[in-house]
A and B are shown apart, each in its own frame.
Chain A
Amino acid sequence: MSVAAPSASDIRPVARSQSLKFYGIWVIVAIGLVVLPVIFSSGGSLTSFSLIGIAIIFALSYNILLGQTGLLSFGHAVYYGLGGFAVVHMMNAVAAHGWPLPLPFIPLVGGLGGFCFAAVIGWVMTKRAGTVFAMISLGIGELVASSSLILRSVFGGESGITTDRTALPHMFGWSFGPQIQVYYLIAFWVMIAAIAMYALTRTPFGRICNAVRDNPERVEFIGYDPHVVRYLSYCFAGLFAGIAGGLTAINFEIANSAYLGAVQSGLVLFATFIGGTAYFFGPILGAILVTYLQLGLTSLTTVWQLYFGIIFIGIVMFAPGGIAGILMMHRPLLRAGTLGTVIPSYLLALLPTLVLVGGVILGIETIAHYTASQGEGNVINLFGIPFNATTPSTWIIAIVTTIGGFLVARMTWRRIVEAWDRAARGARDQGYLA
């Protein structure tokens, strides 16, 4: 640290090149969203992209609470679901009365619905943070989910309330019947919501949210009421969750009680945490991965929830920073130029780790098939190789690859740790790592 001590007047606003880089990222994302359906044009991938886009908004809204303000909510789907119902009712009203409100503006109604409910209920909820808040959010979640089955006129009971998105006034000649048009509508809102939520983190309010997350007690002694900060944060999270729920209602042309249930609340917590709460882009990665897994795994295996659980436990235990945390760990090494010394140990670990994972999957599938779905035939198709769940050889292969893979993989993991330590030392010497 032999740098000449800077003086107060040296502190300049963000450099122009940096803000250019910043806007560049958003422009690239926007272009990517536009060309994505051109590259992957099948109906299935369009549906997936639409769901991923919605999941991104939802997870980012959840991270306003968890990552930015330090509030662990178990009932965030309430705002998502209420946004969905607000949108369905609005769409039906628009269609019935012939109001001149085109579909692209409708998600705002969902946002308003989420915001209003959060504004009404949030003041009491955010009085305390921590366990108290988490428990109340769980209670409110259950309360709303169960009332959705009781208040039939509003929530439509178990079947939900349907709508027809093409019945609304058209805009630019788009009827929003085809999935591609809905995809672009969602992509548009993903951009708007993501930029708005990022901008929110860069405001005085957004910075104080982080301060409340780190140390609510001290915040009180620099002039802020942490309760007000948590409340505002809660309202914003409700707003954006409502937009996500509204887009879901448009996408499926239905809103039902499953939207605001505990499963949905669990999924968003899951996606946000796996992606990583400490960085703004973390929940985006988590939403992409979880939605993709959800869509892909459900068609591949009956025990997909088990894999979700294993992934979640693995992240909580070994990488609490999530995917974003793992990626950002490498940044100082990249800057110091020592990342290259770690890569070979990664490659070395790849094969045994994959063998281990394959063994575990084979084991799980064999047990699942043997116990649960005996009637549906015993052949498991794994990576194109058929395995028969009733033959001992399959069990032996599963056991051998799991144990053998683990023993070999463990040695390669140690090499990663050693290589990592060396690389980190190099980065520390150059001042890139504290």
Chain B
Amino acid sequence: MTAAIEILNVEKRFGNVGIIHGLNLSVAQGERHAVIGPNGAGKSTTFNLISGHIAPTSGEIRLNGDVISGLRPFEINRRGLSRSFQVTNVFARMTVWENVRCAVLWATGHRYAFWKNVDDLPEVRQRTAEILDDINLLHRREVPAGLLTYAEQRELEIGITIAGGADVIMLDEPTAGMSHAETERAVALIRRLTEGRTLVIVEHDMSVVFGLADRISVLVYGHIIASGTPDEIRGNPKVREAYLGEEAH
């Protein structure tokens, strides 16, 4: 079976500064894969590379076997990969309902249609309502996204990410800045919503990582130093030295 995501020898340089070098990573279909690493290790850059936000300097990235490196983000999205952002990145002046609906439109095949009434598309309405129900924001659907609480915006961020029905979901620090109770809720939400899909997640909260992930990759200075199950990672001396030392007693 082809891997959902395969990164082969990817390098990313900004001018003379190499951020990512010799990056190799493989995420199997249906796997929940966490990428961890200290600040500045290149986790967000890796996300940006996979999702097409930036193009790799060299190397190859494959999605379900097809090369996607060098494609634009919307082309990659149309092939079934969707990502969230570390800093909330929603449509602030539009309502919660419209935010999710926008994310549903391409996937339901309406594209740039300027001859259809958007309120008159039953499958769009149905799907939007389901997503809002899933992220528990149905009662807030008429509120402009910019006026939501922080935790609600994070949930909307996840909602927009999954709304298109992509089978590879990438979440960039979905629980950053959340309280303990909010984090627990968010993890349960992520677990439920990514059922049967491939998930790649960047996360700093180790309880989230070890509770959620099937496999973990440790990124240090733009290079994967270890990749394995949570138990393997916990027992790996290189990882303990580089990263987990002070955080995972």
Contacts and interface: CB of A to CB of B under 8 A. Distances in A.
Interface of A: 1, 3, 5-9, 11, 13-14, 199-200, 202-208, 210-211, 213-215, 217-225, 228-229, 232, 236, 278, 434
Given A8-B133, A8-B138, A11-B129, A210 B91 contact: yes
Q: Which of A210, A214, A217, A229 has the most CB of B within 10 A?
A: A214
A5 B98 contact: no
User: What are the 9 tightest A-B residue pairs by CB atom distance, in nearest-first order?
Assistant: A223-B106, A8-B129, A205-B114, A220-B73, A214-B91, A204-B110, A8-B133, A11-B129, A222-B103
Interface residues of B, number: 53
A13 B111 CA distance: 21
29 contacts: A8-B126, A11-B128, A14-B119, A203-B114, A204-B105, A204-B110, A204-B112, A204-B113, A204-B114, A204-B116, A205-B112, A205-B113, A207-B101, A207-B105, A208-B102, A210-B98, A211-B94, A211-B98, A214-B91, A218-B89, A218-B90, A218-B91, A218-B160, A221-B51, A222-B82, A222-B160, A223-B74, A223-B106, A434-B147
Contacts of A14: 119
Interface of B: 51-52, 72-74, 77-78, 82-83, 85, 89-94, 98, 101-103, 105-107, 110-122, 125-126, 128-130, 132-133, 138-139, 141, 143-144, 147, 160-161, 163-164
A210 B94 contact: yes
Contact of A228 (B107, B112, B133): B112
Contacts, number: 126
Nearest to B89: A218
A200 B92 contact: no
Contact of B144 (A11, A223, A229, A434): A434
A84 B159 CA distance: 47
Contact of B90 (A202, A204, A215): A215
Given A203-B118, A215-B89, A232-B112, A223 B164 contact: yes
A222 B106 contact: yes
Contacts of A11: 125, 128-129, 138, 141
A200 B112 CA distance: 11
B71 to A, nearest CB: 11
A123 B50 CA distance: 28
A221 B118 contact: no
Given A8-B126, A8-B130, A203 B89 contact: no
A60 B118 CA distance: 20
Contacts of B128: 11
B75 to A, nearest CB: 8
B89 A204 contact: no
A210 B93 contact: yes
A21 to B, nearest CB: 14
A208 B90 contact: no
A208 to B, nearest CB: 6
A6 B138 CA distance: 7
Contacts of A211: 91, 94, 98, 102
A224 B74 contact: yes
Contacts of A204: 105, 110-114, 116, 118, 121
Given A204-B105, A218-B85, A434-B143, 17 more contacts: A5-B138, A14-B119, A203-B118, A205-B112, A205-B114, A207-B118, A208-B105, A210-B94, A210-B98, A214-B94, A215-B91, A218-B90, A220-B52, A222-B160, A222-B163, A224-B112, A236-B114
A225 B75 CA distance: 8
B114 A232 contact: yes
A37 to B, nearest CB: 33
Nearest to A212: B91
A195 B103 CA distance: 26
A3 B147 contact: no
